[in-house]
Chain A
Amino acid sequence: MGLPPAPTGRLSERGPAPDAAAARAKAARTRRLGMRTIALGYLALLLLAPVVMIFYRTFEHGIGPVWSTVTTPNAQHAFWLSLEIVAIAVPLNTVFGIGMALLLERGRFWGKALLGMLIDLPFAISPVVVGLSLVLVYGNTGWLGDWLAEHGIQVIFSLPGMVIATAVVSLPFVVRETMPVLRELGIDAEQAAETLGASAWQTFRRVTLPGIRWGVVYGVVLTTARALGEFGAVSIVSGRIEGQTQTLPLYVQARYENFDPTGAYTAAVVLALLALGTLLAMNLLARRTRRRIPV
């Protein structure tokens, strides 16, 4: 089953006259350079300059003030609280997101289009409104308030409420990132696994999940970034109690309003580093696997 040898003729030697070609190449280079300058300039103004400014302002007076901020109990508490919320909300949304993506992509049922629209709602609604509506349901005077109070469960002004708020605002990411890869994967491989004797769970674990993992990972990264940075909804449901329900973004705002810019900048830098770390981790993971499995 040998393939014919690849043509070895050097096509470049038969190109147009060198002068005209050089001029065209130069024009193309100039065009490319112009496009790049615009793109980079836009990014620099909107993204790079503000971030650099934050870093600069944070370390303006050396490491001393930064260290004393980082080690205050309130800052420490805010840091760990933010991580705790992420550690609960992100896995919840990952499991939910994969399940929902499967349902929306593979299922056939009435109201599917409506459900698909509903999933996107958290993107469309302002987080503040999300927070307020959660209070209306879970708050003391809310719809489920009496029942929750009877059972001694406090949702608003405590961790459960903040987790719920974070989960709601970052809900669509995993679903939306997973659906297209699920569609691209198709159902052939899953059906092949089925005919080979795999149970539904084995098929999911060994065929579907590895097939969609990059969509899921990307969704998880976006969810994590969004959950870390969430301000509006959490701000409403948490009550912003220092040292108790104050997350890192809330801490940034509180410091800023209390005329402690260094505290605000420092916390902002920590937030930025966390997000950066998440992105970096994903990239490293992706690169390592891609090198192993050529796709």
Chain B
Amino acid sequence: MAIEVRNVSKRFDDFVALEDVSITVGDGALTALLGPSGSGKSTLLRIIAGLETPDSGEVVIGGEDVTHAPARMRGVGFVFQHYAPFKHMTVHDNVAFGLSVRKRPKDEINERVKELLALVRLEGLAGRYPSQLSGGQLQRMALARALAVQPKVLLLDEPFGALDAQVRAELREWLRRLHEEIHVTTIFVTHDQEEAMDVAEQIVVMNAGRIEQAGTPRELYESPSNEFVMSFIGPVNRLGDAFLRPHDIQILPDSDSTGTEALVERVVHLGFEVRVELKLHDGRDVWAQVTRENAQQLELREGQILSVRLPAPRVFTP
């Protein structure tokens, strides 16, 4: 179901967590709330879930105003950053919790739990306790638990934050596929732009309690509406008021001297990508991103003087 947040504000004592925030998430969409810590993204997620009350504004889920409805009446599935497992219950009982508080018949519960554990690939672990699971398994258990009550929307708070890099990448891929399978409207919070770009269909960029821009990953990357979005999403060179993407800086072959003169200060090989740190003739530092192949052709080495073509820089007027 679609989610609409209208003009929501929230403060904690003196700290303004959210200021006049509005977002719309379409039915079945997979959306990321992206921003640095303290930007208000988790608070916004908790307000949608009903775990915090906004000072003003409205939350509408599936056309119904739920601003004043308690969390348990909202039909949201919430996955907490540290999974919030019920430590004294087995995996089976954790997943069954939502159904058992609704007093569903035992057979139905057992069947549903079995289905869900298969969905999150924890079939063999139904009898284990949370302390016997790895981070990735806990994460999937928390997800199954949230999905058990067939929520109208699924909310995940930094779902991959506490996992190591490899597990993270796998779960990312898996969450995206799961979403394709069950198609429940999903919002997840992250501070990692790569994660947001990788998983989400739509990204809402937040900063200091406000929304900077919302759009598809490509829209945000290609036409950021302000400085913050430009520098938060993707790598960036800053020259005074102007911004350039490192891969837009073109290093010219020796024969071509039509560009700006630059000194190669450092060449860093990062696999497919090569990072070239340059000092321009006017003393400004920039770095360029070239492919490994390109770097080989140009025979880049430190101390070399060459010529580069700078793209038309982007300037944002506040």
Contact = CB atoms under 8 A, between A and B. Distances in A.
B and A form one assembly: yes
Interface of A: 1, 3, 188-189, 191-199, 202, 206-207, 210-211, 293-295
B101 A199 contact: yes
Question: How big is chain B's contact interface, by range?
Answer: 20 to 34
Among B51, B77, B132, residue most surrounded by chain A Cβ atoms (within 10 Å): B51
A197 B72 contact: yes
A198 B72 contact: yes
Nearest to B78: A195
A294 B133 CA distance: 11
Contacts of B76: 195
B80 A196 contact: no
Given A194-B72, A206-B101, A189 B85 contact: yes
A210 B70 CA distance: 24
B117 to A, nearest CB: 16
24 contacts: A188-B80, A191-B71, A191-B78, A191-B84, A192-B80, A192-B84, A192-B145, A193-B97, A194-B70, A194-B71, A195-B51, A195-B77, A196-B145, A196-B149, A198-B97, A202-B101, A211-B87, A211-B88, A293-B87, A293-B88, A293-B129, A294-B131, A294-B132, A295-B129
B246 to A, nearest CB: 34
Contacts of A194: 51, 70-72
Among B51, B76, B85, B97, residue most surrounded by chain A Cβ atoms (within 10 Å): B97
B167 interface: yes
B316 interface: no
B297 interface: no
B136 interface: yes
Nearest to B135: A1
Interface string B158-194: 0000000011001000000000000000000000000
A198 B101 contact: yes
B146 interface: yes
B51 A189 contact: no
Contact of A196 (B72, B87, B132, B167): B72
A195 B49 contact: yes
Interface string B78-93: 1010101111100000
B99 to A, nearest CB: 9
B57 interface: no
A292 to B, nearest CB: 9
A294 B130 CA distance: 9
A66 B166 CA distance: 72
A202 B103 CA distance: 11
| Interface of chain A: mostly helix, strand, loop or mixed | helix
Contacts of A211: 87-88
A132 to B, nearest CB: 44
B136 A189 contact: no
Contacts of B77: 195
Contacts of B132: 294
Contact of B86 (A189, A195, A295): A189
A5 to B, nearest CB: 15
B87 A295 contact: yes
B241 to A, nearest CB: 44
Nearest to B93: A206
B317 interface: no
B255 interface: no
A196 B94 CA distance: 11
A274 B209 CA distance: 60
B98 interface: yes
Nearest to B80: A188
A295 B131 contact: yes
A195 B72 contact: yes
A188 B82 contact: yes
B82 to A, nearest CB: 6
A182 to B, nearest CB: 14
Contacts of A188: 80, 82, 84
Contacts of B49: 195
B193 to A, nearest CB: 25
Contacts of A199: 72, 101
A191 B98 contact: no
A193 B89 CA distance: 13
Interface string B85-115: 1111000000001100110000000000000
A217 B113 CA distance: 32
Contacts of A197: 72, 98, 101-102, 149
A191 B51 contact: yes
B258 interface: no
B86 A207 contact: yes
A56 B104 CA distance: 61
Contacts of B149: 196-197
Given A189-B87, A192-B78, A197-B101, 15 more contacts: A189-B86, A191-B78, A191-B80, A192-B142, A194-B71, A195-B51, A195-B72, A195-B77, A196-B145, A198-B72, A198-B98, A202-B101, A293-B87, A295-B129, A295-B131
B80 A1 contact: no
Contacts of B86: 189, 192-193, 206-207, 210
B175 to A, nearest CB: 14
Contacts of B142: 192
A295 B87 CA distance: 8
Nearest to B70: A194
A123 B170 CA distance: 56
A195 B47 CA distance: 12
Nearest to A213: B88
Contact of B71 (A1, A195, A202, A294): A195
